[in-house]
Each structure stands twice: as structure tokens, then as C-alpha cells.
Structure 1
Amino acid sequence: MKKALYLLMLLSTVQISVKAQAQSKLDQDRAAIRALGGFYKVTFDYAETFSPDTAYRNHPQYHSWGYEWAAVEEDSPKKIVIQHLLVVGDSTVIKHWREDWVYEEPTLLNFDQSSTWKKGTIKPAEAKGRWVQKVFQVDDSPRYESIGTWVHADGKHFWQSECDSPLPRREFTKRSDYNVLRRGNRICLTPNGWMFEQDNQKIIRSAGNDKLLVREKGYEEFTKTDEAKFAFAKGWWQKQQPYWTAVRQVWDEVYAQNTTVKLKGKVDGKLLYERLFDLADQSAKEKWDVQKSKTEARKLINNYLITNA
């Protein structure tokens, strides 16, 4: 009897210990993700490295930089939303990309090709303890989603994954020799911010077959900078934020209702992000409420959407 009681107490202690360790790991994960938010100077560096085609000539290296505010918009136990805002000069702000981090998410929206994404499922055993990073375009339309495990060891904190995505904005209007970017993503916290390192493959996808055009190395370094540079951005975002919250809610409806999402290119000579940006300015000027913003955004998004294609 005493032996059975002892074993029961030992089992209970082990279970409590495992649960505490898991909770501690989750807390570390959340702290690492929240650390991505802040005020940064960002440098963008990309270089093509190797092609299996000996006749291929690498494109010129790409370098750019700017100031970016990564604003934490939502911080709940298993979801963290970070909106990036690009600051140009003293009075220009561009709503940049957005990243949603979701813990043990059961689905992924996978990029196929030709502005088409298809929903897939993640087995519970594969989702356990892992985070899906959902990355969205400037207009909150899909870009890519991938799953990975945050690792905390030897004072380092990093997360990595692999997934397919559309061409990067720096190339999608300039190139047509490939149609899928297979991204090898690695996010690592640094003493002064964080590094977004990429090992990419530029893929030619046709009839279900993939052909490697060229590999690419990328570094986006986020270095903490003076918050005072973002005073105008804070005021600008305060006026724009309600509208973009409504836009996100409309997109959430789209993602929930469709297994395949396909977007048109230009409609009447304009891309979706151009029209949504115009609508954002109108919303701020006329002080629309959330319902008005959702109604107008929904009409616009539906005009560019080919659902369950």
C-alpha cells in the first residue's frame, strides 16, 4: 500500500514538473516573439549564390535600408500579432507587412503559384509545442505561412522554417523567369534587436514540377533605434488602425470560409493594395466606424477574390 502511494505521488510530481517545464518553454517562446516588436533601423541585403544552370548569370546584389516600427497589436496567450510600419523621412508612413504568431495552429495556408493559396492541415503531433508564423502582404492578403519550433539554448533564441511564397516585392514587378520563392527562414534574437536570415530557392513551377533556377542568401537586420524618430508614425497609425482592424476581420472571414484563395491582379488598372490604401485614407478623413470600414473593405476585397478556385 505504501509502495503504491509512493509511486502515485512520484508520478504526480513528474507530471507537475513536465507541465511546469512546458509552461516555462511557452513563456520563453512568447517573450522571444514579443521581443520582435519595437523601433528599428532595418538593412536588407540579398545575393544570388548558385545555379545548376552554368549559363545562368546571377542578378545584381540587392541592398536597401529604412526605419521600421514593429507594433505589437495583439498579445494573447497563444497568439501574438505584430504590424510593421515603414517610416520614410519625417512625414511618410507606409503600412508594411504583418506577422501573426499562433501556437499549435491546426492549419496552414500554403502558397501554390499564380496568386493561389491552398489550406492544409497540421497533425496534432506535428503542431504540439510549435508556432505558425503567418505573414501577410501590405493589404493583409496572404503571403506565406510556415511552422517551426522556438529554440532557447546557450543564451540564444531562434526559430526556423521552410515554405513556398510568391516573389518578393523587390522582384515581382521586375522578373518573370521564376514563379515561386522557397524560403528557408531563420529568426534569431541579437543583443541589439533581431536578424531575419534566409536561404532561398528561386523555383520554376510548372504542371506540378519544380525546377531550381538559383539559390539566394538574404539578411534583414533589425537594430534598435531612437523611438523619437517614430512620433509622426504613432499619430498616423492611431488614425489608420481602426480601419485596418476592420480589414483584418474581413480577411479572417475569407480564410475561414474558403479552402482555396486566389487573387486577381489589376482590376480597372489598379492593384488591390492601392485601392485599400486609398480607402484607408478616406476612412481616416471621414472617421468611419468599424462597420462602415468592414462593409467598404469587404466589397473591395470581393472584387479581387476568386474563392475556392
Structure 2
Amino acid sequence: MKNILICLMLVMSTLAVAQSKKKQDQQAIKEMCGCYEITFNFAETFDYQRDYQFHDNYRTKGFEWAQLIKDEKEEISIQHLLIVGGGQIVKHWRQDWLYENTALYSYVKDNSWELHTLPKSEVKGQWSQKVYHVDDSPRYESSGSWVHVDGKHYWEGASDSPLPRREYSKRSDYNVMLRTNRHELTDFGWIHEQDNGKVNRTEKGDELLAEEKGMNVYTKVDDSKCEAAQEWWKKNEQYWADVRLVWDEVYGANPDFSYAESLNDKMLYEVLFALGDEMATADNYNSMEVQTKVSEIIKSYMD
């Protein structure tokens, strides 16, 4: 009887520690929300081809509002809105965090993804980060553990992805980016650090051209500096909620899928953004009708 009680106490203690760790993870993820002054910095570091020419460093900055759009025990979602120019709002990337998620899409190449299932034991206590394009199409995702030690709070994950938007229209020498992402909280905000490999993927295998270092620094500022983004989201959040629902249906129906980069000389995001602008000023917004239109648009690119 004594041994049974000891075992029960150990199990309860283990569960309590796991729950405490999970709460720390949730808090760390949500700490990335709010208004930030952000700098994007990328520099190529090593080359692996004799005739490779290093490309110029990339640097830009602006303000970004990170809006919490889902806050559940095992799923947290954050929508990023970039403020550029004279206050113009650009719907930026989205990150979804799922606890102990076993189903992850892997990028192949040429806008193609394959669904992979991981064993539960491999993702125990981990969070997967799913990152989406500006139009909520998939970008990359990976699973990893949040680490809370010595006053540091960070998460790391590695995955393949399409070319970043800063390069996809300028580069044709590589077609897959091997990404290692690190998100770390700081006393001034947080840092998104990247170690990336630029790869040309063919039937013969992967050819590594170069590596680059990325450092995106998010410095917390007063929410009033992102007021324009908050107002934009209020007018557009229903439309993009409907877009996400359609994409969820697409993922559910297509374990592996691909879509065209452009159709009739228009990118998918251009068409979805144009419909979003139209719906933002519509007198009678109908979610079912919007979802039908969005579904037709996305399927046209997939067909």
C-alpha cells in the first residue's frame, strides 16, 4: 500500500510540473503580442559554390502589431500586421502554436507540401509553430520545446520553406530555404533569430549554395503607435477568419497539395487581398457567401 501511495505521489508531482511548464510556455508565446518597432536584418555568411556571388545584405524596419486571435489551452494564434509608409497596413505573417501536435506539413519545392505524422512520444511537451503567408497559405512549420532556464525563455525549430518574399521575385538560383528559427524573449521585447541554408533541390538531391544569418529584433513600444493596425483589424478580422476556415477545409481534404504561383498574371494573395478590400466596405457582409468566393479562388489556383 505504501509503494502505491508513493507511486501516486510521484505521478501527481510529475503532472503538476508538466502543467506548470505548459503555463510558462503559453505565457511566453503570448508575450510576443503587442506593438513593436521592428528591424529586419539578413546577411549571407558562407558560400559553397566556387562561382557564387554574395548578395547584398537586406535591412528594413517599421512598426508591427501582433494581434492575439486565438487563446486556447492547446492552440494559440497570433496575426502580425505591418505598418509601412504613411500608415499603410499590410497583413503580414501569422503564427499558430499547437501543443503536442503530431501532424505537420513539410515543404517539398515548387509550392508543394506533404503531410507527415510524428509519433506522440516525439512531440511530448512540445509546441509546433505553423507559419503562414500573408494570404494564410502555408509557409513552414516545425515542432520544438520551449526552454525556460537561467532567466531565458526561448524556442527553436527547423524546417524547409519556400523562398522568403524578399527574394522569391529576385532569385532563381535556389528553390528551398532550410530554416532554423529561434524565438527568444528579451527585457525589451523579443528576437526572431534565423540560421538559413539556400538550397537548389532537384531529383538528384539538395545542392547547398550559401548560408545566411537573420536577426529580426522586436522592441516593445506603446500600443498607441500601432493604433492604425488595430483599427484595420477590427474592419477586416471577420473576412480573414472566413479565409482561415476555407484553408482549414483545404488542409483537411488534401493531405498533400500544391498550388500555382500565379494565375492570369495575378498572385493568390493579390486576389484575396482585393476581395478583402471589397468586403471591408460591404454594406451586408455574409460569411457563407464570402467563404464560397474564397473557396472558388483558392481551388482555381490549386487546379
Q: Say which SS state the counterpart of residue 52 (structure 2) adopts.
A: coil
Deviations 1:46-73 (A, max 9, x none): 0001112233221111101110001000
Q: Report the secondary structure of 1:292's partner residue.
A: helix
In 2: Cα distance, 1:269 partner to 1:97 partner: 23
Name the counterpart of 1:296.
Answer: 293
Distance 1:250 1:208, change over 3 A: farther
Alignment counterpart, residue 258 of structure 1, candidates 240, 245, 254: 254
Partner of 1:305: 302
Residue of structure 1 equivalent to 2:63: 67
Amino acid at match of 2:235: K
Matched, 1:267 2:292: no
Q: Select 2:167's aligned residue among 141, 165, 171.
A: 171
How far apart, CA to CA, are the structure 2 residues paired with 1:52 and 1:301?
38
Give TM-score, length-normalised by structure 1: 0.96
Partner of residue 47, structure 2: 51
User: Equivalents in 2 of 1:210, 1:89: separation in Å?
Assistant: 39
After the TM superposition, which residues 128-143 of structure 1 pair with which residues of structure 2 at under 5 Å, given as runs? 128-143=124-139
1:118 aligns with 2:114: yes
TM-score with structure 2 setting the length: 0.98
Q: Distance in 2 between matches of 1:163 and 1:264?
A: 22
Question: Where do residues 78-227 of structure 1 align in structure 2 (5 Å cutoff)?
Answer: 78-207=74-203, 209-227=205-223
Q: Which amino acid aligns with 1:182?
A: L
Moved more, 88-97 or 106-115: 88-97
Percent same amino acid at aligned positions? 45
- Write the letter of the residue equivalent to 2:242: A
Supply the AA of the counterpart residue of 2:291: K
Q: Distance in 1 between matches of 2:198 and 2:271?
A: 29
Specify the SS of the correspondent of 2:43: strand
User: Deviation of residue 168 (structure 1)?
Assistant: 0.5
Greater Cα offset, 113-122 or 81-90? 81-90
C-alpha distance in structure 2 between counterparts of 1:299 and 1:164, whole Å: 28
2:299 partner amino acid? N
Q: Residue 39 of structure 1 aligns with which residue?
A: 35
Q: Is the 8 A contact 2:39 2:217 kept in 1?
A: yes
Q: How does 1:12-23 map to 2 (within 5 A)?
A: 12-23=8-19
Q: Which of 236, 239, 248 lines up with 1:240 in the alignment?
A: 236
Q: Tell me the CA shift for residue 89 of structure 1.
A: 4.1
Return the letter of the residue paired with 2:56: P
Structure 2: 5+ residue runs without aligned partners?
none
The answer on 1:279 being equivalent to 2:275 is yes
How far apart, in 1, do the equivalents of 2:102 and 2:114 lie? 14
Runs (4+) off by over 6 Å: none
The two structures, once aligned, show a CA RMSD in angstroms of 1.0
Cα separation, partners in 2 of 1:149 and 1:16, compared to 1, 3 Å: same
Q: Deviation at 1:267?
A: 1.0
Q: Secondary structure at the match of 1:56?
A: coil
- Amino acid in structure 1 at the alignment position of 2:46: F
Structure 1 segments unaligned to the other structure (5+ residues) = none
Residues 65 and 230, structure 2, Cα contact 8 Å, conserved in 1: no
CA gap 1:137/1:255 in 2 versus in 1, 3 angstroms: same
Alignment-mate amino acid for residue 301 of structure 1: I
For 2:27 and 2:223, the matched residues in 1 are separated by 20
How far apart are residue 158 of structure 1 and its match? Answer: 0.6
The answer on whether the counterparts of 1:90 and 1:232 sit within 8 Å (CA) in structure 2 is no
AA partner of residue 296 (structure 2): K
1:229 matched to which residue of 2?
A: 225
- Amino acid of the structure 1 residue aligned with 2:91: K
